[in-house]
A = this chain, B = another copy of it.
Amino acid sequence: MRKRRAAAAAKSAGVDGMLVTHLPDVRYLCGFTGSNGALVLVGGRAMLFTDGRYTGQAKAEAVGTKVVIATKPAVVAACEWMAAASVRRCGFDAANTTVAGLETMRKALRSGASAARARRGMFVAVGPLVARMREVKDAEEIARMRKAARVGCELFEGMLTYLEAGLTEAQVAATLEYAARLAGAEGMSFDTIVASGVRSALPHGRATGAKLPKRGFVTLDFGVILDGYCSDMTRTVHMGKAMPGERDVYHSVLEAQEAAVAAVAPGVTAGEVDEAARSVLRRVKLDKYFSHSTGHGVGLEIHEGPRLAAKQKQVLEQGMVITIEPGVYMPGRFGLRIEDMVLVTAKGGEVLTPSVKAWIEL
């Protein structure tokens, strides 16, 4: 089904074959989860090229796709096969193909064609066709993402009884990741962020040996991978009593976050959602401390389209799963971020990560 849609999209783009090498795209289209694979779509046929490590796995996973175990690099074998099949115009994704990779593909497509043949095939950038398909999740994907998001929430709630001053950020990350594994996670979506005290002012503060303070913020930003799909959420809690200003800033970020969630609906542009968050912070003169975009799509990869940033014209569609994650970072003082995963529904946005967002003092 997905392969047929991709092949149809390729045909519309004016090519008679398509080479898919970006592994999340390969997985999305044919189910194969290995670390080396090239998928060819030609005239209703789908062929997966991989290597001897994946003989059994490829056949088990890529049901309905012919599997070829190549002794050459998979992409070379795929191109030579296309040449032999007389593919004239082969589509590829310029955003996920390196300049050197394209050169290799071109050579293989030429060398695979018989010398006698007058016309040889060529590669044509067809845009991120598969990436665009992946932005809108189907029912099965949404079910998996709900589950991943729910596991994320359970992990966060477990953290609330565990966090205490004196633990290192690394210990917190270790405990969170251990619990994630036991909950069935295949891995984490990205390096777990635990940013405490003055380090909370770093938007991307990976867990370090720094100790959680007696008084100050702790930002937890993490995600699990479950059945291939990523979750992503952020909560910021406060150790001990708030210091002057902290509570006000927290509530401004929360208001911005909730305004952006409320703005989510099919037909709304990504830029409008970003502006919903940014305008709240502008009103209280905190916008200059909101130094990143409001969110991004999420799925098989932690960062997918659409991009929710200022002035982005892309229109949200039902079935997209996005993050909404405004934050405020005051260098040398403190910072915080609040993030949900949100499913775009027919009516608006459904938060997939319903963990409490109210001010928490531990």
How many angstroms from the CA of A359 to the CA of B171 in the assembled complex?
Answer: 34
Chain B residues with CB under 8 A of A177: 174, 177-178, 181
Question: 1/0 per position for A243-287, CB-CB distance to B under 8 A?
Answer: 000000000000000000000000000000000000000000000
Q: Of the candidates B52, B184, B191, which one forms a contact with A186 in the assembled complex, judged by CB atoms under 8 Å apart?
A: B191
Chain B residues with CB under 8 A of A34: 204
Closest to A57 in B: B202
Closest to A179 in B: B174
Residues facing B in A182-238 (CB within 8 A) are 182, 184, 186-187, 191, 201-204, 206-207, 209
* Binding-face segment, A10-18, A75-83, A99-107, A318-326: A99-107
Contact B187 A178 (CB under 8 A): no
How many angstroms from the CA of A291 to the CA of B203 in the assembled complex?
Answer: 43
> Assuming A95-B98, A181-B177, is B204 touching A35 (CB within 8 A)?
yes
Contact B204 A51 (CB under 8 A): no
Q: Judge whether A166 is part of the interface by a CB distance below 8 angstroms.
A: no
Contact A56 B202 (CB under 8 A): yes
* Minimum C-beta distance from A49 to chain B (A): 15
> Assuming A181-B177, A182-B174, is B53 touching A292 (CB within 8 A)?
yes
Within the oligomer, what is the number of copies of this chain?
2
Q: Judge whether A142 is part of the interface by a CB distance below 8 angstroms.
A: no
Chain B residues with CB under 8 A of A182: 170-171, 174
How many angstroms from the CA of A35 to the CA of B303 in the assembled complex?
Answer: 12
Q: Of the candidates B56, B99, B291, which one forms a contact with A97 in the assembled complex, judged by CB atoms under 8 Å apart?
A: B99
Closest to A191 in B: B187
Closest to A172 in B: B181
Q: Judge whether A114 is part of the interface by a CB distance below 8 angstroms.
A: no
How many angstroms from the CA of A92 to the CA of B94 in the assembled complex?
Answer: 17
Q: Judge whether A331 is part of the interface by a CB distance below 8 angstroms.
A: yes
Chain B residues with CB under 8 A of A55: 291, 331
Contact B184 A170 (CB under 8 A): yes
Q: Judge whether A28 is part of the interface by a CB distance below 8 angstroms.
A: no
How many angstroms from the CA of A209 to the CA of B182 in the assembled complex?
Answer: 10
Closest to A35 in B: B204
How many angstroms from the CA of A207 to the CA of B34 in the assembled complex?
Answer: 14
Q: Of the candidates B52, B94, B175, B331, which one forms a contact with A103 in the assembled complex, judged by CB atoms under 8 Å apart?
A: B94
Contact A98 B94 (CB under 8 A): yes
* Minimum C-beta distance from A207 to chain B (A): 8
Chain B residues with CB under 8 A of A92: 99
Q: Of the candidates B51, B56, B100, B178, which one forms a contact with A292 in the assembled complex, judged by CB atoms under 8 Å apart?
A: B51
Q: Can you give 30 contacting A-B residue pairs, CB < 8 Å? A: A34-B204, A35-B204, A51-B291, A51-B292, A52-B291, A52-B292, A53-B202, A53-B203, A53-B291, A53-B292, A53-B329, A54-B204, A55-B291, A56-B202, A56-B331, A57-B202, A92-B99, A94-B98, A94-B103, A98-B99, A99-B102, A99-B125, A171-B182, A174-B177, A174-B178, A175-B178, A177-B177, A178-B178, A186-B207, A187-B191
The 10 closest A-B pairs by CB, nearest first: A174-B181, A52-B291, A94-B99, A94-B100, A178-B178, A53-B203, A95-B100, A174-B178, A97-B99, A99-B102
Given contacts A170-B184, A171-B182, A184-B209, 17 further A-B contacts (CB under 8 A): A51-B291, A51-B292, A52-B292, A53-B292, A53-B329, A55-B331, A56-B201, A92-B99, A97-B99, A98-B99, A99-B99, A99-B125, A100-B125, A170-B181, A171-B181, A173-B181, A178-B178
